[in-house]
Chains A and B, each alone.
Chain A
Amino acid sequence: MLSEYEISALLLSLKVSGSAVLFSLPLAILVAWVLARYHFPGKALLDSLIHLPLVLPPVVIGYLLLISMGRQGVIGSRLYEWFGVSFSFSWQGAALAAAIVAFPLMVRAIRLSLQAVDIKLEQAARTLGASPLKVFFTITLPLTVPGLLAGTILAFARSLGEFGATITFVSNIPGETRTLPLAMFSFIETPGAEAEAARLCLISIVVALAALLISEGLTRMAQKRLAL
């Protein structure tokens, strides 16, 4: 049904978006926690910095990644030198770009959900002998599940659609960085490949729709379970 080319682009997209979401989730929870629970000087600045990818043109992010994280970049060269890790022109680089672009969406959703958790419940848990860590994992985090789900799916969907930062940072390499949007872009650029472009368009819609439906279902389940 799907051509080998389409399957490769689809799987690559899922891999890139999946890794982007998976690796940024713990950091997003941490940042959301800090923003939801603490007041400190420079909080507004941190908040703005985290939201920056939401409002910057993706090509700017791609460019910044290129000069910082590329093989010749300030950070990228060190990473390669010390750990042999390289983001440039690889699917890991695509995942990094996607993660950065989707990060604010994830933080926002988790933060809102954290703010909704009643601190009184956490206090009650403390008086029952629970350490702050136990309180976080048994009370706060479970009560944040709807937000976690929403944030994760939103970020996943955003990652799937990532184009500008990706093509700027890691280029458009078949099998390595050519995700669905990039593949579609290539077909659109190629004369006479309108049908192929339309097929990829359809695949994109199906994947995005599936993600949203799954998210909706999971959120509903979580809310029912939490009796919210």
Chain B
Amino acid sequence: MTLQITLEKQLGEINLDIDLNLQETGITALFGRSGAGKTSIINLIAGLEKPDAGKILIGDRVVFDAARNINLPPQKRQIGYVFQGSRLFPHYTVKGNLNYGRRHKDPESLNTIAELLGIEQLLHRYPAALSGGEQQRVAIGRALLSNPAMLLMDEPLASLDEPRKKELFPYIEQLAKEINIPIIYVSHSLDELLRLADQMVLIDQGRVIRHGEVADIWNSEAMLPWQPEQDISVILEACIREHSSRYSMSCLALGDRLSLWTPFIDAPVASRVRMRIHARDISLVRQPAEQSSIRNVIPVSVVDMTSTDNTSACLITLRAGQHILKSSISRWAAEELAIHPGEQLFAQIKGGSISRNDQVANLQPSNAFLIAR
């Protein structure tokens, strides 16, 4: 399933001009500031708004083509949409809502989806009697049961409080694994990006800035504006080499002889995991210290270093095998160690500082996720 989108639309001040080619099943995050045009993009895809020009192809189905005057109405596009608020129909029960978009009302698929989303117990209630998280789960189920060719999700967690968000993460992760359709997920949250997205599209001022693997973009310059200066991080994706049950740690293979020990990840050996490593948790040394408490001392080469005059910190970009790491050290230390690009150093990473929230166990095939808990 491919999705080809070329769109133009004037949205007040912003001129939306998008050219995207999505090949993936799994979750593609549309990431950007509020007002960057993310929601408009999926509204245009769904047919709720009309582009000024362009073309939208889902697989080989043309749903919009300005040149040929084709503009399928939303109900003919077969696109599921999960809105920011749940938009459940207040006069239908949960079951009625779930059934609304179904053509074949076989009980199995309803039960499967209800079970997947944990809403089996709620079928006879009305939306008003549900919590925000439950409403959003029903809305997801309703969209899925309409048998869509692709699923759009517009910040489905944005209207929920923190505990409800946490409650919903596993369901969405599970979902991406179970259903075999592309999901476009609009978000401006780094956490959601880390936890849910396989691919990402960075949007700014109505344009696509970057499109690709989450880790590649996250670790690039393009994402720096989204990361607070005190909390710059990289995403690292690697396979689990081994577990140490004695110390409750897991070892990631960063390269042939490069290992990174982290708190235990509940996933089998050889499965791929993703984790966030904060720059403030990496320090640099010229020679590996002997008899140190730090388990991870990894040979790295300096790729780049940036500092701004009015801050005390200096951000060093490092390469370890295939992986990018970032270290935030003081400018004083950087000057005293006389660090410059191209030279070899050792990065000390405090394994214990990698929190559970920063780990996502990403099972093979690479699009499937499971949270490490």
Contact = CB atoms under 8 A, between A and B. Distances in A.
Interface string B83-94: 101010111000
B206 interface: no
A220 B213 CA distance: 54
Contacts of A129: 75, 78, 101, 103, 146
Interface in A100-143: 118, 120-121, 123-132, 138-139, 142-143
B143 interface: yes
A121 B101 CA distance: 13
Contacts of B80: 127-128
A141 to B, nearest CB: 10
Given A127-B143, A128-B146, A129-B103, A121 B75 contact: no
A124 B90 contact: no
B75 A227 contact: no
A120 B101 contact: no
B143 A227 contact: no
A150 B266 CA distance: 60
A124 to B, nearest CB: 4
A143 B87 CA distance: 14
A226 interface: yes
Chain B interface mostly: loop
A227 B146 CA distance: 25
A39 interface: no
B90 A130 contact: no
A143 B80 CA distance: 23
B174 to A, nearest CB: 22
B156 interface: no
Contact of B101 (A118, A130, A225, A227): A130
A142 B79 CA distance: 25
A216 B88 CA distance: 27
A127 B83 CA distance: 11
B342 interface: no
Given A126-B48, A130-B101, A120 B87 contact: yes
Nearest to A135: B75
Interface of A: 118, 120-121, 123-132, 138-139, 142-143, 225-228
29 contacts: A120-B83, A120-B85, A121-B87, A123-B48, A123-B74, A124-B81, A124-B83, A124-B87, A125-B100, A126-B74, A127-B48, A127-B75, A127-B79, A128-B80, A128-B142, A128-B143, A128-B146, A129-B103, A129-B146, A131-B75, A132-B73, A139-B89, A143-B90, A225-B91, A226-B91, A227-B91, A227-B126, A227-B129, A228-B90
Which 5 residue pairs across A and B have the least CB separation, nearest first? Answer: A128-B101, A227-B128, A126-B74, A127-B81, A124-B87
